[in-house]
Amino acid sequence: MKTTSIVQIKKELQHLNNDELIDLCLRLTRFKKENKSLLTYLLFEAHDEAQYIASVKESLNQEFQSINTDSYFYIKKSVRKILRQLKTYARYSLKKETEVELLLYFCAELNEISPNIHQNITLSNLYERQIIALEKKITTLHEDLQFDFRSQIEALRDFN
């Protein structure tokens, strides 16, 4: 089966009535958890971005607490999983400020893991890549936000 383009899908959706659109949305949510999560964000959480960020941070906090710290292997697997989830949550929002705030929180929590992640090359490199990504994303934001976020990044760099 060949997948059609977004333009074709948009044109076809314009011909449907409200009930048919609702049925399509509900059917989409049944097939993939990510679709259901995105629809949940759009319907219930998009209007209050601060609350959304707080709930994501709480979810990430629980994930960080459940990390198996017996070896760096398990820490790496868990940290990558958490980062994947964070990127997904940030994609839902489409706001750069939200993504930057979540990445800052991720890096701060990463610094708190015991044993120290900077003793492992892979984890240390992952941390540095996130800091570099943060610096790039910050350049697209408003100047006041840039100043606030840069000071937080400097605090994370000094933590090493």
Q: Calculate ∠ Cα 41-150-147, nearest 5°.
A: 90
One digit per residue, pLDDT tens: the chain, 160 residues? 777 888 988 888 898 899 998 888 888 888 888 888 888 898 889 899 999 999 999 999 999 999 999 999 999 999 999 999 999 999 999 899 999 999 999 999 999 998 899 899 999 999 999 999 999 999 988 888 888 899 888 888 876 6
**Domain residue ranges of the chain, discontinuous segments joined by +:** 47-159
CB 157 within 8 A of CB 131: yes
Dihedral sign (CA 88, 43, 137, 60): negative
Looking at residue 2, what DSSP letter applies? P
Reference 56, options 92, 108, 30, 96; nearest CA is: 92
pTM of the model: 0.85
